[in-house]
Structure 1
Amino acid sequence: TYVVSASVTNATGRIENLKEYVAVTLGWVCACSILDGYGGWNQKGCWTYNSSNDYTTCLCDHMTHFGVLLDVSRTPIDEKNERILTLITYMGCGVSSCFLGITVLTYTLLEKLRRDYPSKILLNLSLALLGLNLVFLLNSWISSFGIHGLCIAVAVTLHYFLLTSFTWMGLGAVNMYFALVKVFNVYVPSYILKFCLLGWGIPLIICGLVVAIKRDAYGMNTMSDSQITLDDSEMFCWVQNDVVFYVSVVSYIAFILLCNGSIFLVVLIQIRNMQVNQPAGTRSGILKDLRAVVSLTFLLGLTWSVAFLAWGPVKVFFLYLFSILNSLQGFFIFVFHCLMKENVCKQWRIHLCCGAFKLQEYSEWSQTATVVPKHKPNPPNTFPFMASVRSIKSNSTQSSTVSSESSQRQMTITRPDLGKTLPI
């Protein structure tokens, strides 16, 4: 058959971002496809608008880059950058999946590491991010089957794990606020159980409402029977409806990031005030504080805010920054909360190493806690470290006693060791 094409004289770049779709009416029944530049055909950016026995009308446009799940502008980019971004995203998600798996196994199998609330929150966050990365990696392969119901299921699952990840980031920030700002004033029974209901339940409600109200909001960018490759990046099941995307994805994530950013600033101010009140000899170095700040930045998901800056002429730059930082979020969590955490490394040496590298079983609190007078011992879980918020019922006498003893001994509670004791 004939090939229908169009060109614009003296055009200096790609024709895109059109206010109206280009309509091509062909005088026979056919499939709407375009030349992909590699000698083949695909349906990227074109779909059948109307068809009869005599003619077919196609509408053509460019689709968004699927590798950025939070592409707020939802405008196309050139094919070269799209392929590079796709490759970066796949590689980053693959690396993160491996190290998130190690993190989950470490905190699941080594019971001593998950005795406090921050470690339990970290475990749930790692599970959510692991699910997000795995579904993302399998999405293109599953979508290549072209099964509409399966595509919707994958898109819903991806949506769920994305919201779950951000919900746990938000809960981690809330726990941090309780630990650093309201150390003695908060008692929440069944603390972690309620966090789990919120962390896994709220995203389930949101996704359930979308499925019940507008199930066709989920779908595939294009439906093609061609073999999936990195060049076929349009084969991806995700939220296609713009209204649903901005309401259930962008607004929710923006709210979490706004709250996390505010708590992050409050925590930095609180730590700064503690550092000023400390004796000069006990203050930590700049590199240690910087490491703690970077750790919290990835833990609270603040790097995802880069997506809101990807507009206009700087869009491609921020998309690269977004893809690199956020696809490797799981890897950075492993580095800061496993590899660089002293108690985790000790547990690895105790249970995994042999010979000269193996450590014998040790008493954790005898090495890490400040010495307490024998006549008034404090149980490990009730000692008011900044590392966690235990649901401890204490009367005013007990609280005042702890505070008095802390002030007399100039204990490390006046400023937490960010590398070891910050929440999560």
Structure 2
Amino acid sequence: MWFGKTLLILGVACVMWKSVFGCNAGFAVNGSDCIDMNECDNASALCGNHSRCLNTNGSFFCECLPGYRNRNGKSSFTTDGQCRDINECTDNTKICGPFAKCKNMMGSYNCTCKFGYVKINSSNAGPCEDIDECTKAKNEAICGKEGSCRNTNGSYWCECSEGYTNYGNERTPCSELNCERFSADSRHAQSLLDLADILSMMKNSCLALSGSITSGEGKSEGDALLEKLLTAADSILSPGPLDSSEGVSGLLSTVENSILLIGPQLKHNITKIETAETDAQIAIQRGRTPPTGPIYLTNENAALSTDWKTAAGTGTYPGFALAALLSYKNLEGSVNGSFEELKEDENDDMSFQIFSKVVSVVVSNPSTQNLSHNVTITLRHLQEIKESPELSYICAYWKEKGAWSTDGCHQQQSNATHTVCTCKHLSSFAVLMALYPMEPDFGLLVVTKIGLVISLLCLILSILTFKFCRSIQGTRNTIHLHLCICLFVADLIFLVGISQTTPEGGCKFVAAMLHLFFLGVFTWMLLEGVQLYRMVVLVFNATIRPLYLYVTGYGTPLVIVIISAIIRPNGYGTDRHCWLSSDLIWSFFGPVCFIIILNVFFFIITVWKLAQKFTSLNPDLSKLHKIKAFTVTAIAQMCVLGLMWVFGAFLFQKGLTPVEYIFTILNSLQGALVFIMHCLLSKQVREEYINILCTPQMKKRSDFSSTNPSSSQSQLQRAMLVINEETLE
């Protein structure tokens, strides 16, 4: 009894104790019991990131996740958490094995196999083993038809048969060698005896590569061999021009073939070397896949622009691609001939001259005679020369048989210093200056001088007429006067100074004055067209203030000449004439074309309006007379407005002699045409001339004949007077 009572008392005491004092730490009251609390319900607050919480009876502890470590180095903790990443790659340098690279990651690491190795399993941390390339790949595909694959630890190398090589690049397919192209018994070597030493040196180098077993060690000294090649070429070129085209062809082809052999042996991707007679730049790209991207090689005398796809070709890729630009500094003297084929294609009377350094372009693409894309070669001229219609630049290449040809090459653009050529095949190139036989046409010269003298005399009469004839004073008379003044000065300067090319300063002044006054002629012609339009179409308010006429007629040409002289001061004067050079000629033809277009517009409108006026003439006037009058007036308008200059556009084409004569006659006699149209065909001017020149008896006879014509003649004269008054006055 007493034991049970004791237990009851203790139980009541415990309940009273828990209710008064609570449970122990880590426990919670649950009725009459104390139960364990799960502190891990708030694990992130207790343990921090990259950790996990483990609950215990009445307590808990924290552990870092795999790949992380407590900052104090403890394996478990309840405070001072902060689990930090473990760098497995530094803690254990052998964690990935000897054939892989370790890369640390947050909470982990990754093993990447080195080239030639593969992971045994798919896990990131798995070890790597050697790849047997010679087993997994067909021997022919990896080393070529004449190569044997030899596996090594982490790699492989190719063993080439006799007559094949991989140029010391162990993982390159074997390429066929053609050592016989360096034969010292060839016709080229016989025509140029010193060439035999180069051929012998290159053949020995070629045979040394044939069938060689290489593993990437002891590669051929390509740089030293290239230097020997160019030094040997210098010994051939330095004495002076070569005697025969056969020798030139032999040297060029030997050097090109040698660069193809040496290039893959060079150590660097870009190699530049300059000697006394040559300047070479060679670019090399190596790799298991064909390279891509642009290629730009340049030296002092030339530049090459192409791409690696063109240089490598589209066939079997041998593991490398090559592009080279080689410039010969003094070879042009040896090849400044052999133009027979060009004369057959162009013109027998033309003369040719080498006008750039000779350059050779070499690529590893075996199909150089039919490239997939054209290559662009920029060649610098031997000297700067002003452009002239008597010369042109031709892009040519040196054929194996020893002659220049243009097949497959054409000029893209040229200026005074450079010519850009595009070619669809490769060889040795140069720019040729073609000189056209531009002997003066004696007939044109005589016609020009006679026509100008006649025009000057007629212009003097016209200027005096417009200045002192009171009955025709007005806006149109002012325009005619200053048109004649500009044309007179231009024709006089042209007659006296067009061929006086020395001194240079005087020639430039003559060219500038011709530019100014010929533009002035066309500007006043434009004002003539505007005035005709206003008179025929507007009828009223047709007068233009003289100040506006002077500013337009002289100011516009002056502004154009000043701007042209500032932009291109060397554009005035050429080697043969004191006129504008080709790079400045459009400062004249541009305004001229603009004025002619405007005058054509005015001419069409004027003729249309005049045609309407013809229909209102006397109905007794026959249709034939109407057409005749209309035609005469139209031709007069065309001549006055300067539309005959349209013939000048055809002078850019060769072989149009009739057009040249038409243009020369019309323009040299323009002063005479102005005198006829505006003076002799003007009623008021004729009356003034009669008053000045005729006696009283002649005046009466003229008056009597004018008052008693036949009926048809009277009608025709009245019609012509109406036409003259409406169109020319």
TM superposition score normalised by structure 1: 0.64
SS of aligned partner of 1:239: coil
1:61 & 1:214 partners in 2: Cα distance?
A: 14
Which among 523, 534, 551 is matched to residue 197 of structure 1? 551
Q: Does 1:153 align with 2:529?
A: no
Alignment check: 8 A CA contact 1:172 1:423 kept: no
Give the aligned length.
313
CA distance change for structure 1 residues 191 and 138 in 2, over 3 Å: closer, same or farther? Answer: same
What is the CA distance between 1:321 and its match in structure 2? 1.4
Alignment check: 8 A CA contact 1:128 1:161 kept: yes
Alignment check: 8 A CA contact 1:16 1:62 kept: no
Question: What does residue 286 of structure 1 align with?
Answer: 627
2:386 & 2:565 partners in 1: Cα distance?
A: 28
Q: How does 1:325-344 map to 2 (within 5 A)?
A: 325-344=666-685
User: Tell me, which stretches of 5 or more residues in structure 2 are unaligned?
Assistant: 1-333, 358-380, 392-433, 708-718
RMSD (Å), alpha carbons? 3.7
2:384 & 2:567 partners in 1: Cα distance?
A: 29
2:440 & 2:448 partners in 1: Cα distance?
A: 12
1:137 & 1:218 partners in 2: Cα distance?
A: 18
Alignment check: 8 A CA contact 2:527 2:549 kept: yes
What is the CA distance between 1:199 and its match in structure 2? 0.6
The amino acid that maps onto 2:528 is: G
Identical aligned residues as a percent: 23
Q: Does 1:298 align with 2:639?
A: yes
CA distance change for structure 1 residues 111 and 278 in 2, over 3 Å: closer, same or farther? Answer: closer
Question: What does residue 225 of structure 1 align with?
Answer: none
Alignment check: 8 A CA contact 2:498 2:579 kept: no
1:60 & 1:130 partners in 2: Cα distance?
A: 30
Question: What does residue 612 of structure 2 align with?
Answer: 273
CA distance change for structure 1 residues 352 and 278 in 2, over 3 Å: closer, same or farther? Answer: closer
1:76 & 1:323 partners in 2: Cα distance?
A: 24
Q: How does 1:52-201 map to 2 (within 5 A)?
A: 63-64=389-390, 78-79=437-438, 82-113=441-472, 115-140=473-498, 142-143=500-501, 146-184=502-540, 186=541, 191-201=545-555
What is the CA distance between 1:342 and its match in structure 2? 2.3
CA distance change for structure 1 residues 150 and 59 in 2, over 3 Å: closer, same or farther? Answer: closer
The amino acid that maps onto 2:525 is: M
What is the CA distance between 1:121 and its match in structure 2? 1.2
The amino acid that maps onto 1:136 is: F
Q: Does 1:421 align with 2:726?
A: yes
The amino acid that maps onto 1:23 is: F
CA distance change for structure 1 residues 6 and 84 in 2, over 3 Å: closer, same or farther? Answer: farther
CA distance change for structure 1 residues 344 and 273 in 2, over 3 Å: closer, same or farther? Answer: same
Alignment check: 8 A CA contact 2:531 2:542 kept: no
Alignment check: 8 A CA contact 1:175 1:423 kept: no
1:77 & 1:99 partners in 2: Cα distance?
A: 37
1:161 & 1:97 partners in 2: Cα distance?
A: 15
2:338 & 2:636 partners in 1: Cα distance?
A: 51
CA distance change for structure 1 residues 175 and 344 in 2, over 3 Å: closer, same or farther? Answer: same
Question: What does residue 162 of structure 2 align with?
Answer: none
Q: Does 1:320 align with 2:661?
A: yes
Q: Deviations over 1:324-362 (max 9, x none)?
A: 1111111111122222322212111212344634689x9
Q: How does 1:13-24 map to 2 (within 5 A)?
A: 13-14=347-348, 16=350, 22-23=354-355
2:607 & 2:351 partners in 1: Cα distance?
A: 42
Which among 218, 221, 226 is matched to residue 572 of structure 2? 218
The amino acid that maps onto 2:559 is: I
SS of aligned partner of 2:579: strand
Q: Does 1:257 align with 2:562?
A: no
CA distance change for structure 1 residues 181 and 59 in 2, over 3 Å: closer, same or farther? Answer: closer
The amino acid that maps onto 1:324 is: I
1:359 & 1:192 partners in 2: Cα distance?
A: 39
What is the CA distance between 1:151 and its match in structure 2? 1.4
SS of aligned partner of 1:281: coil
What is the CA distance between 1:306 and its match in structure 2? 1.0
Alignment check: 8 A CA contact 2:466 2:477 kept: yes
CA distance change for structure 1 residues 347 and 181 in 2, over 3 Å: closer, same or farther? Answer: same
Alignment check: 8 A CA contact 2:349 2:437 kept: no
The amino acid that maps onto 1:170 is: L
What is the CA distance between 1:195 and its match in structure 2? 1.2
The structure richer in strand per residue is: 2
The amino acid that maps onto 1:346 is: E
CA distance change for structure 1 residues 140 and 260 in 2, over 3 Å: closer, same or farther? Answer: closer
Q: Greater Rg, structure 1 or structure 2?
A: 2
Question: What does residue 563 of structure 2 align with?
Answer: 209
User: Tell me, which stretches of 5 or more residues in structure 1 are unaligned?
Assistant: 26-48, 51-56, 66-74, 223-233, 368-413
The amino acid that maps onto 2:657 is: V
1:187 & 1:287 partners in 2: Cα distance?
A: 28
Q: Deviations over 1:254-303 (max 9, x none)?
A: 00000101111111111112222444136864333322112111100000
SS of aligned partner of 2:520: helix
What is the CA distance between 1:100 and its match in structure 2? 0.9
Alignment check: 8 A CA contact 1:166 1:253 kept: yes
Alignment check: 8 A CA contact 1:278 1:415 kept: no
Question: What does residue 307 of structure 1 align with?
Answer: 648
Question: What does residue 41 of structure 1 align with?
Answer: none
Alignment check: 8 A CA contact 1:24 1:58 kept: no
The amino acid that maps onto 1:201 is: G
1:287 & 1:140 partners in 2: Cα distance?
A: 40
Alignment check: 8 A CA contact 2:508 2:578 kept: yes
Q: Deviations over 1:385-414 (max 9, x none)?
A: xxxxxxxxxxxxxxxxxxxxxxxxxxxxx9
Q: Deviations over 1:213-262 (max 9, x none)?
A: 3211112x22xxxxxxxxxxx2x2111142x211x111110000001011
The amino acid that maps onto 1:112 is: S
The structure richer in helix per residue is: 1
Alignment check: 8 A CA contact 1:274 1:415 kept: no
What is the CA distance between 1:135 and its match in structure 2? 0.9
SS of aligned partner of 1:310: helix
Q: How does 1:372-391 map to 2 (within 5 A)?
A: none
Alignment check: 8 A CA contact 1:306 1:322 kept: yes
Q: Deviations over 1:128-180 (max 9, x none)?
A: 1111110100114643xx12221111111000011000001100000011111
Alignment check: 8 A CA contact 1:218 1:241 kept: no
CA distance change for structure 1 residues 254 and 61 in 2, over 3 Å: closer, same or farther? Answer: closer
Question: What does residue 72 of structure 1 align with?
Answer: none
Structure with more relative contact order (C-alpha pairs < 8 Å, separation 6 or more): 1
1:7 & 1:122 partners in 2: Cα distance?
A: 58
Alignment check: 8 A CA contact 2:572 2:581 kept: yes
1:292 & 1:76 partners in 2: Cα distance?
A: 45
What is the CA distance between 1:85 and its match in structure 2? 2.4
1:157 & 1:170 partners in 2: Cα distance?
A: 20
Deviates more, 1:158-167 or 1:123-132: 123-132
TM superposition score normalised by structure 2: 0.39
1:96 & 1:76 partners in 2: Cα distance?
A: 34
1:84 & 1:302 partners in 2: Cα distance?
A: 24
Q: Deviations over 1:83-136 (max 9, x none)?
A: 4323322222221111111111122122223x2222221111111111111010
Q: Deviations over 1:55-98 (max 9, x none)?
A: xx697986459xxxxxxxxx997545634323322222221111
